[in-house]
Structure 1
Amino acid sequence: MITDFWFYLAAIPAVFFYGMGKGGVGGILGMLSVPLMAMTVSPVQAAAVLLPLLCVMDLMALYYHRKNCNYSELKLMMPLAIVGVISASYFIGNLAPHFIELIIGGLALVFLAQKFLFNNTQPAQPIKVNLLMMLSGFSSTIAHAGGPPVSMYLLPKNLPKEQLIGTSVVFFAVINFIKLIPYGYMGQLDTQNLTTSLVLIPIAFIGVKTGVWLVNIISQNLIYKISYVILLITGAKMLYSGVSAL
């Protein structure tokens, strides 16, 4: 088990906020978790410690939200996302996370500019959908950062908040359990990392319960506003990190 005090100082809020996202409030808040934990351990180890926790959170979130999933959308999203996971498996630990941050941050800001500056509300075309889902699976495998491409696809559809949350929950539950295969093959799910994950499970539980409680009292309009604001903040942060590392 990791015993470094500074690791837990970063990991506890990281896991809590990821849990809130899984509960339904600000799902892409979780993108901040790996960079936060990576201040004290390597990015690969941070992602490896987080992955079993994500699977636990997914099981909890499925209990609350699976019935609201739009399975028609999920069928369109899933195949290329799985291809993204498979292709990313080769690059784990070899591809700089800043490269992924640069791409996703840039795409997120272009998406927001199209929507709010140029009032582009046209639905995503099939090719665009496939690229977004492949990028989501790829970036989720490298750094658990698959949220923005999914948001770029789902938010313009203006689904009821229950469907928006439910579809995202089921999508990432499938993706995260598939990711266990490459992480296990790499030897990252070792005793130290798994024991550390086990210690953090109560924080994950509290985070998910907090997110579920909040989403039940927040209006649909506010959920969408929160999602767009978080996408803006995380997109800008990722673009800045990516450019800074060049």
Structure 2
Amino acid sequence: MLELDLWFFAIAGPAVVFAGISKSGFGSGAAFASASILALAVDPGLALGVMLPMLMLIDVASLKPYWGRWHLREALLIIAGGLPGVVLGAALYRVASPDLLRLLIGAVSVGFVIWQISLKRGWLYIGAHRMPDGAGLIAGVAVGFTSFVSHAGGPPAAVFLLSRDLSKTGYQATSVLIFWAINIAKFIPYAFLGMFTLETATANLLLAPFALAGAWLGVRAHDVVPERAFFAITYVLLTLTGLKLIWDGLT
């Protein structure tokens, strides 16, 4: 049961704005922090169900500013792999308990931070060589799966896209197109799995202005806000929320 009280909106409002800024301005890589944050306040399945329509609204709002600036080949490769990844995610969700979802979302959140820090410290290295098209399909499966179970498809998409030597804006525009398509693909199985309710629909209507505001801010922040500062805040949020979700899932 989703309680649409002051506590819910105190958490959900800023989370949705944050998702809008991330998706429309910084390549979608950290937008899933919003679902992690919301899962602290409500059942993880409901958190995912609330966030998907908001992410889709942000996708639509972000398409026009980046229209035609994407790299269509890279986008289609990841989308093609993403569809079976969505099916795998739906199969897992059918047998997963809320605590397992908390563990999974928490582990993805903390794992994302560890991955980013490892790259920056040189502990991991993504080769400068151009990944083949087949790698895009494999990355797409990971994108579809992680996006379905935690809205966290950004990191596997980034591994492939960053190897293809895209410009900052080309990368952003391609990410917008990819997740617009993947989120549409997730909508029907989410509905069949009961992740949408009358309460989530009401929450979506009330949160829509937050989503649009975040998308507007993200497009403008794309050229003026240092990525380093934005992602530093993101890493702190993901670490704290991820550890809390792991603790809740285990206890």
Global fold match (TM > 0.5): yes
Where 1:28 maps in the other structure, the secondary structure is coil
2:93 is matched with which residue?
Answer: 92
Where 2:33 maps in the other structure, the secondary structure is helix
Deviates more, 1:69-78 or 1:153-162: 153-162
2:20 is the alignment partner of 1:19:
yes
**Structure 2 CA distance for aligned equivalents of residues 65 and 101 of structure 1:** 31
1:77 is matched with which residue?
Answer: 78
**Structure 2 CA distance for aligned equivalents of residues 237 and 121 of structure 1:** 32
1:190-229 per-residue CA deviation (whole Å, 9 max, x = no partner) reads 22111111100000111000011111335xxx55x56876
1:50-96 per-residue CA deviation (whole Å, 9 max, x = no partner) reads 11111111110111113211001112211111110011112226432
Amino acid at match of 1:148: P
1:174 is matched with which residue?
Answer: 181
**Structure 1 CA distance for aligned equivalents of residues 34 and 58 of structure 2:** 14
**Structure 1 CA distance for aligned equivalents of residues 138 and 238 of structure 2:** 18
2:61 is matched with which residue?
Answer: 60
Size of the alignment, in residue pairs?
242
2:138 is the alignment partner of 1:131:
yes
2:222 is matched with which residue?
Answer: 215
2:150 is the alignment partner of 1:143:
yes
Q: Given the superposition, is the C-alpha separation of residues 131 and 17 from structure 1 closer, same or farther in structure 2, using an over 3 Å criterion?
A: same
**Structure 2 CA distance for aligned equivalents of residues 134 and 143 of structure 1:** 14
**Structure 2 CA distance for aligned equivalents of residues 239 and 39 of structure 1:** 9
After TM superposition, the score normalised by the length of structure 2 is 0.82
Amino acid at match of 2:83: I
Amino acid at match of 1:56: L
Q: Given the superposition, is the C-alpha separation of residues 26 and 127 from structure 1 closer, same or farther in structure 2, using an over 3 Å criterion?
A: closer
Query: Any stretches of 5+ residues in structure 1 without a counterpart?
Result: none
Asked if structure 1 preserves the Cα contact closer than 8 Å seen for 2:50 and 2:200, the reply is: yes
1:9 is matched with which residue?
Answer: 10
1:191 is matched with which residue?
Answer: 198
Asked if structure 2 preserves the Cα contact closer than 8 Å seen for 1:109 and 1:235, the reply is: no
Q: Given the superposition, is the C-alpha separation of residues 86 and 118 from structure 1 closer, same or farther in structure 2, using an over 3 Å criterion?
A: closer
2:32 is matched with which residue?
Answer: 31
2:49 is the alignment partner of 1:42:
no
Where 2:4 maps in the other structure, the secondary structure is coil
Where 1:90 maps in the other structure, the secondary structure is helix
Deviates more, 1:35-44 or 1:118-127: 118-127
Note the C-alpha offset of 1:40: 1.7
Query: Any stretches of 5+ residues in structure 2 without a counterpart?
Result: none
**Structure 2 CA distance for aligned equivalents of residues 234 and 156 of structure 1:** 27
Q: Given the superposition, is the C-alpha separation of residues 102 and 18 from structure 1 closer, same or farther in structure 2, using an over 3 Å criterion?
A: same
